[in-house]
Structure 1
Amino acid sequence: MRKFDIRNIKIRQVSVDELNDKMLLANLYLTQALTLIIGIVWVLLQRRNPLNFFAVPSTYDFVLWGAGLALLVLLFDLGISRFVPEEATDDGGVNERLFRMRPVWHIAVISLVVAICEEILFRGAIQFAIGPYWTSILFAAIHVRYLRHWIPTGMVFAISYGLGFIMDYTGTLLAPIVAHFLVDFIMGCIIRFRREEA
């Protein structure tokens, strides 16, 4: 029986093309789990209850704000894609690989998991500590696949700032969760069905 030797572990950067579908999904769900854990621990260290994030307000204005921001983002993104070359908005093929062959129910699950985990950390914990501007800079920085091009980096920053604004305005984390989910889900479906038509 061979002994496990930690010195033999080699770490190297891989491109998305080198990952099979199972590894891509494992990477996605692992990073989201870490995001959620960090967010919950940070909120608890702020002496706040993360379960309060899911208290539904007495009015449903937050749904309108979330859907409105999502519509604005989608219209802007579709407008940009008409006038800007595809290379200027390239994310390294991550979204393409993630959504192109995925069933719609799984696109919905991925979108919901990402929306909840990232919003708990960024709007729930970090924005509470440092405000929407610096939170948006961090949010853009963790979306590292977009950093090679200024247009998607600027869009991620603006979307993040919008998510922070609607949370502050509505007083509930549910508003940015709705917006984040709708943007990811609709864009995922566009990628999925655009490839199916092609």
Structure 2
Amino acid sequence: MKKYDFKKWKQVKFQKVDMSKLDDRTLLLNVYLTQALTLLLGAVLLWIQGRTVWGVLALPSGWTPWLWGAALAVVVLAADGVLSRFVPEDVTDDGGINDMLFRTRPVWHIVLLSFVVAVCEEVLFRGAVQHWMGPYWTSILFAVVHVRYLKHWLMTGIVFSISYGLGYVAVRTGTLWTPIAAHFIIDLVMGLIIRYRRAE
């Protein structure tokens, strides 16, 4: 049996990514690869639970679930608008990732990115993880995964609150499409704000 030299692992060093050195292609590849892995992990967890991605993505009947999702998105966006007036910009800084991702992106691509992220993350967190852990612990995990916000307690609290809201509407309506709709609208509007604010 081959022996591994674990001393080599001590030489591995993690460095903060310099956003000025990160090109657009690498960033997009990273986003899509991360989302694919998120969806795959969600599918595996659902399979372990005896459920499927297609099962949790069954379309709901009626407009109520979609209205719940839109209402949550409006509340989150309104709260963000209020916070942005009173909270210094450095507190909400994510290291420039959102700015780089959306500032020059065509609108169709912002729509696509928002949809992909909403579906993949909600399948994992609200579809699979929340089934085991409930909305509270799922929201803690969701906040931790959004590591770029962890340096600011306020942003970590906001991400946790949004996640808890997404978990609540999923339970309330009984469909994953409610948090997907809310997540999509929030990301889309924020992306468009960054896109057109920078364009001005």
Would you say how many aligned residue pairs link Structure 1 and Structure 2?
190
Over the aligned positions, Cα root-mean-square deviation in angstroms equals: 1.4
Question: How far, CA to CA, are the matches of 2:135 and 2:22 in structure 1?
Answer: 34
Who is 2:155 aligned against? 152
Q: Give the match for residue 131 of structure 2.
A: 128
Alignment of 1:92-171 (within 5 A): 92-171=95-174
Following TM superposition, by how much is the alpha carbon of 1:61 offset from its aligned partner in structure 2, in angstroms? 0.6
Give 1:10 deviation, angstroms: 6.7
Seen in structure 2, the aligned counterparts of structure 1 residues 102 and 11 have a Cα distance that, compared at 3 Å, is farther
When normalised by structure 1's length, the TM-score is: 0.93
* Alpha-carbon distance in 2 for matches of 1:142, 1:57: 28
Would you say 1:61 and 2:85 are equivalent positions?
no
Normalised by the length of structure 2, the TM-score is 0.92
CA–CA distance in structure 2, aligned partners of residues 70 and 58 of structure 1: 20
Could you tell me how far apart the structure 2 residues matched to 1:184 and 1:17 are? 23
2:31 maps to 1:33: no
**In 1, distance between residues paired with 2:80 and 2:192?**
14
Which residue, out of 40, 44, 47, partners 1:44?
A: 47
Residues 123-143 of structure 1, C-alpha deviations (whole Å, 9 max, x = no match): 000000110000000000000
Identity fraction in percent: 58
Unmatched runs of 5 consecutive residues or more in structure 1: 1-6
Q: Which residue of 2 aligns with 1:90?
A: 93
Q: Give the Cα separation in 1 of the matches to 2:39 and 2:155.
A: 24
Distance 1:21 1:11, change over 3 A: farther
- Which whole-Å deviations, capped at 9, do the CAs of 1:35-54 have from their partners, x for residues lacking one? 00000000001001220222
**Partner Cα distance (1:93, 1:58) in 2:** 40
Uncovered stretches (5+) of structure 2, i.e. residues with no partner: 1-7
Q: Report whether the alignment pairs 1:195 with 2:159.
A: no
